[in-house]
Amino acid sequence: MISKKIGEVNIHIGDTVRVHSKVIEGAKTRIQVFEGILIRLQGRGENATFTVRRIGTGGIGVERTWPLNALSISKIEVKKKANKVRRSKLYYLRNLIGKSAVRV
């Protein structure tokens, strides 16, 4: 199983995670939360990135990619651990619709 350690959090492919990232709008900063399924961990060291996918409004899939050591990420919390994932990349979720696209 592919996994990475970010701070104290150990994340694995297929986990449902909440990524808290800082967003700067003009002079104000706020925390934006993005919750979805971790579908990709890629790279090593400085170049490592991860991608989270969620189903947005109207059933449209939204994916965001962050560097693992990004300063804009304030914290990552694991909402649900994946029980049985046999792939290192979950790209097949892009073709699924409804509940099957959210369950791993």
What is the pTM assigned to this prediction?
0.89
* Domains in the chain: boundaries: 3-92
Which residues have CB under 8 Å from 1's CB, separation 6+? 12, 13, 85
Euclidean distance between CA atoms 81 and 98, whole angstroms: 20
Residue that has been written with the tokens 């400085």 in this structure:
46
Q: Do 69 and 4 form a contact (C-beta atoms < 8 A)? A: no
CATH assignment of 3-92, given 2.30.30.790, 3.60.15.10, 3.30.70.890, 3.40.50.10860?
2.30.30.790
Neighbouring C-alpha atoms within 13 Å toward the C-beta of 54? 12
Closest CA to 12 of 36, 33, 41: 41
pLDDT in tens, the chain (104 residues): 567 776 667 899 999 999 999 999 999 999 999 999 999 999 988 899 999 999 999 889 999 999 988 999 999 999 999 988 999 999 999 999 888 888 88
